[in-house]
Structure 1
């Protein structure tokens, strides 16, 4: 791999970390960059998952204000994301992904629409949202499925997680995004561990990408903290719809 390609991956990593920690769409930047330097789709996918661990580390380091008071939520939800990440990684290395790839655009698009309509839907439901709602089995199963998706491919898992959390937790978008960053990192860590153990990761490409993602992930919460909730919600929703179209076109 040439120095120019390594530099491209590092630059793409900064963009991916920034975008991922703010709107949950890091793979929209990092995955195409890995394909651009010549990696096959599967190798790019697993290498991307390993590199994205750095996004969680960077965002966690600068999200302390948003994470304050959320320790109990993390303790309750972390095992579900660890289990889901492992299951998704096993699916990736043992089964063909054509059918799942065709479902993903609709999953991403639906989640993005829900993000845009979330405040209105809450008013229509006229039901209180409590911090304990994440204890419901329906919420946990939904988050587990997202974690499986995160271990399998991961593009837009960061969009879906805040949507689900937003319906069961009474918290600002910024706090939901900070919680999402940690939970998604758990899923990525478990999946990355399996990929590394199997030797299917391109470490030469992963290292510069991860370095850039670490910096972008650290900058992301700082940017998100200064954005109005309405704007942040709109950015997440519109970016998610754009990714859904991209994935649908790619699925052919």
Structure 2
């Protein structure tokens, strides 16, 4: 049991760093919970609950980047909360076998998003900013961005691997803020989505709380350290390495689910 606790703390620490730097905590934390014997849906529910801790750590560590952005962030968080409820209910109502078969493709998607998230985002953002000069186009872009955040919140409540990347890419396009601010906002939005999903899970399904605590300790520390790393690390190299790991994990889970 001691080795299991140490394993989950270590996995949580690494996942917390990935959550607050690349938005891919679940690529480490979810397989770690599978490795200690939890079935897929319970592992996913427990993982979502544990991720609350990395949200707390990364938010505290990112307060200086968030200064002056709380009003804007409140709107985005509200949309993510609604999406989180939708996604968590979808997870509970769907058969466990279907979830196990969907997960490999969600992880493949997460890896692909990570690779593409740094490409042409600037060009897309410039085109959208130019479109904002026209009132009708500006209104359409705003509505589309709100639905985008709602969708990401739902995806986070359902599974979550790659949700951070989706938020990061979306915010990079619809806001004029630099990467450090956008990354900090992403951490808060992800925290809100995980929190509301956990509240739903508490009343509707089973959470393995004895695994949440050690995983949460590691996630909190990693979540706090992550924003500090972002200020000094080469994000392009980090994204490439994590994407390769995502594809490897996706292949492993695909083989397990279908063969």
Aligned partners of 2:199, 2:191: CA distance in 1, in Å? 12
2:135 match? none
TM-score relative to the length of structure 1: 0.88
Shift of 1:49: 0.4
Q: Decide which of 129, 138, 157 is 2:163's aligned counterpart.
A: 157
* Equivalence map 1:37-76=2 (5 Å): 37-76=36-75
1:32 match? 31
Q: Is the contact between residue 108 and residue 250 of structure 2 (CA under 8 Å) also seen in structure 1?
A: no
For structure 1, the residue ranges without an aligned partner over 5 or more in a row are none
**CA-atom RMSD in angstroms:** 2.5
Aligned partners of 2:55, 2:65: CA distance in 1, in Å? 14
Q: SS of the residue aligned with 1:220?
A: helix
TM-score relative to the length of structure 2: 0.86
Does residue 179 of structure 2 align to residue 173 of structure 1?
yes
Q: Is the contact between residue 173 and residue 232 of structure 1 (CA under 8 Å) also seen in structure 2?
A: no
Inter-CA distance 24–133: structure 2 relative to 1 (3 Å threshold): farther
Shift of 1:133: 8.6
1:185 match? 191
Number of residue pairs the alignment of both structures matches? 247
Q: Deviations over 1:154-175 (max 9, x none)?
A: 1111111101111111122221
For structure 2, the residue ranges without an aligned partner over 5 or more in a row are 133-137
Shift of 1:147: 1.0
Aligned partners of 2:139, 2:190: CA distance in 1, in Å? 20
Inter-CA distance 149–126: structure 2 relative to 1 (3 Å threshold): closer
Shift of 1:208: 0.7
Q: SS of the residue aligned with 1:136?
A: helix
